[in-house]
């Protein structure tokens, strides 16, 4: 990441405007400076950067709910990713090398969700924009796949857990973990 710093370009608009004023129009840089506003110190800038996300979260009621939902979904996915291999080792007596193949179900779930969600979300947003008055897709038009993800996630977690508990064929929990990955991506990407 640090190696990319010299390669990547600056994209933050206030910094771009400041560079433009400084290099291309030096006579305007003093005109836009506000002398009544004191320069912020490093600690003030750091404090502002740390508190800005909390201000965004607390502005509306929906953002904390989506944040809570995504954090719970993330915890389910993290627990599943951390225990999948060892679960197949203990329940189905897989060797450590073969138990890694249990992650293929999740890989397929992630892949199918990425491909299908992109197509579904784009087509739905353009269809919704054509029906509207301004013919521009809004960010809210990409939220309906979240409904499918929210309904499918608990069902797929139940399928995964139930098939492990009853020691069904090893393919059933792999399919369940793939459905968990599919539902998690349908929850993450729209938000």
Q: Supply the pLDDT for residue 33.
A: 53
Count the domains in the chain: 2
Residues 6+ away with beta carbon under 8 Å from 76: 153, 157, 180, 184
- Considering the domain architecture, whether residues 84 and 177 belong to the same structural domain is answered as yes
Is 142 inside a domain boundary?
yes
Q: Supply the pLDDT for residue 149.
A: 92
Q: Which domain holds residue 157?
A: 61-188
Q: Supply the pLDDT for residue 139.
A: 75
Q: Supply the pLDDT for residue 94.
A: 92
Residues 6+ away with beta carbon under 8 Å from 152: 179, 182, 183, 186
Taking Cα atoms as reference points, which of 79, 72, 75, 80 lies closest to residue 177? Answer: 80
Distance, CA of 108 to CA of 179 (rounded, Å): 9
Is 103 inside a domain boundary?
yes
Q: Mean pLDDT, 10 residues at a time, over the chain (191 residues)?
A: 75 79 62 58 86 82 86 94 92 91 94 90 81 72 86 95 93 95 92 78
Q: Supply the pLDDT for residue 186.
A: 93
- Considering the domain architecture, whether residues 89 and 121 belong to the same structural domain is answered as yes
Note whether 85 and 99 are within 8 A (CB).
Answer: yes
Is 4 inside a domain boundary?
no
Q: Supply the pLDDT for residue 121.
A: 83
- Considering the domain architecture, whether residues 105 and 47 belong to the same structural domain is answered as no
Is 34 inside a domain boundary?
yes
- Considering the domain architecture, whether residues 27 and 65 belong to the same structural domain is answered as no
Is 110 inside a domain boundary?
yes
- Considering the domain architecture, whether residues 105 and 157 belong to the same structural domain is answered as yes
Q: Supply the pLDDT for residue 115.
A: 92
- Considering the domain architecture, whether residues 115 and 81 belong to the same structural domain is answered as yes
- Considering the domain architecture, whether residues 85 and 139 belong to the same structural domain is answered as yes
């Amino acid at each position: 990441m640090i190696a990319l710093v010299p390669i990547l370009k600056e994209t933050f608009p206030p910094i771009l405007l400041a560079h433009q004023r400084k290099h291309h129009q030096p006579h305007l840089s003093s005109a836009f400076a506000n002398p009544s506003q004191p320069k912020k110190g490093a600690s003030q800038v750091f404090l502002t950067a740390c508190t800005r996300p909390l201000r965004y979260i607390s502005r509306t009621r929906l953002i904390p709910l989506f944040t809570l939902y995504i954090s719970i979904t993330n915890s389910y996915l993290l627990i599943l990713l951390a225990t999948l291999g060892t679960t197949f080792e203990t329940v189905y007596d897989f060797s450590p090398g073969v138990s890694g193949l249990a992650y293929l179900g999740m890989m397929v779930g992630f892949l199918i969700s990425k491909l299908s969600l992109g197509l579904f979300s784009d087509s739905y947003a353009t269809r919704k924009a054509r029906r509207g008055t301004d013919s521009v897709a809004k960010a809210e038009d990409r939220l309906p796949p979240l409904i499918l993800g929210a309904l499918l996630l608990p069902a797929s977690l139940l399928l995964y857990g139930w098939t492990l508990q009853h020691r069904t064929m090893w393919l059933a929990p792999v399919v369940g973990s793939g459905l968990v990955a599919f539902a998690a991506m349908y929850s993450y990407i729209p938000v």
